[in-house]
């Protein structure tokens, strides 16, 4: 399977672009992370990084697939995840674009606790290496967007409260780091805390 493409089984229902109210907070955070090159595009032209925010009744909004190269996103670049089942490796979405290839991983994180309200996935070689070598939670060497990654997320938090340690490095997904928290603001602050810890060494 080629990197940067959707791997899960899903039902995509093309629809009108989402209301700005559903993604305005995500876009604000994304602009800052894009400026920091924590969301962007590789030299090979593959977009990286994605952000989601939980809505009511289990649904969530997430950046669309392969939008990392865009500095600013609009309503046509966000997808609504209406239903997901990580055990069945299934996801249902609507909007003017297909969701990020990491959408089901986000869904798995939301399944960990109803208190989790936002998930941020960034790429940074420096942060990734710091976390892998610094005692942070880390997945095993498994591919992103895979059933193995879903199993790894569930394994990491099977014996701890997710919000007590809301970050992990993706050992099998080079440069990949995920943070999450109760709100989008708190998730962003979690990321900046890791940056401060890295810079203090």
CA distance 179 to 121: 7
Take residue 110 and report the two structure tokens written for it.
């939301």
Buried b / exposed e along 111-123 (16+ C-beta atoms within 10 A): bbeeebbbbbbbb
The pLDDT confidence band at residue 3, using thresholds 50, 70 and 90, is very low
Q: What is the pLDDT of residues 111-169, one digit of tens each?
A: 999 999 999 999 999 999 999 999 999 999 998 888 999 999 999 999 999 999 999 99
If one counts the domains in the chain, the total is 1
Distances in Å between the alpha carbon of 152 and those of 1, 27, 41, 112, 165?
19, 28, 26, 12, 15
Task: Assess contact for 181 and 117: CB atoms under 8 A.
Answer: yes
> Is 52 contained in some domain?
yes
The string of pLDDT tens digits covering residues 67-125 is: 999 999 999 999 999 999 988 889 999 999 999 989 999 999 999 999 999 999 999 99
pLDDT confidence tier of residue 8, bands split at 50, 70 and 90: low
CATH number of the domain within which 153 lies: 3.40.225.10
pLDDT given at position 86: 87
The residue among 50, 53, 78 whose CA lies nearest residue 186 is: 53
How far is the first Cα of the chain from the last one, in angstroms, to the nearest whole number?
Answer: 38
Range of the domain at 149: 9-199
């Amino acid at each position: 399977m080629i990197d940067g493409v959707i791997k899960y089984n899903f039902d995509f229902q093309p629809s009108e672009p989402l209301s700005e109210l559903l993604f305005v907070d995500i876009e604000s955070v994304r602009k800052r992370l894009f400026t920091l090159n924590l969301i962007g595009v590789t030299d090979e032209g593959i977009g990286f990084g994605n952000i989601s925010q939980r809505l009511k009744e289990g649904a969530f909004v997430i950046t669309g697939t392969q939008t990392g190269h865009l500095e600013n996103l609009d309503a046509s670049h966000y997808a609504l995840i209406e239903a997901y089942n990580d055990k069945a490796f299934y996801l249902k979405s609507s909007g003017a674009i297909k969701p990020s290839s990491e959408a089901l991983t986000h869904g798995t994180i939301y399944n960990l606790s109803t208190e989790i309200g936002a998930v941020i996935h960034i790429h940074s070689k420096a942060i990734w290496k710091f976390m892998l070598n610094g005692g942070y939670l880390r997945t095993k060497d498994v591919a992103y967007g895979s059933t193995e990654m879903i199993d790894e997320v569930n394994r990491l938090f099977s014996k701890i409260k997710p919000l007590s340690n809301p970050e992990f490095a993706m050992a099998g997904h080079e440069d990949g780091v995920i943070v999450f928290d109760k709100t989008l603001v708190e998730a962003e602050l979690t990321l900046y805390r890791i940056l401060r810890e890295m810079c203090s060494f």
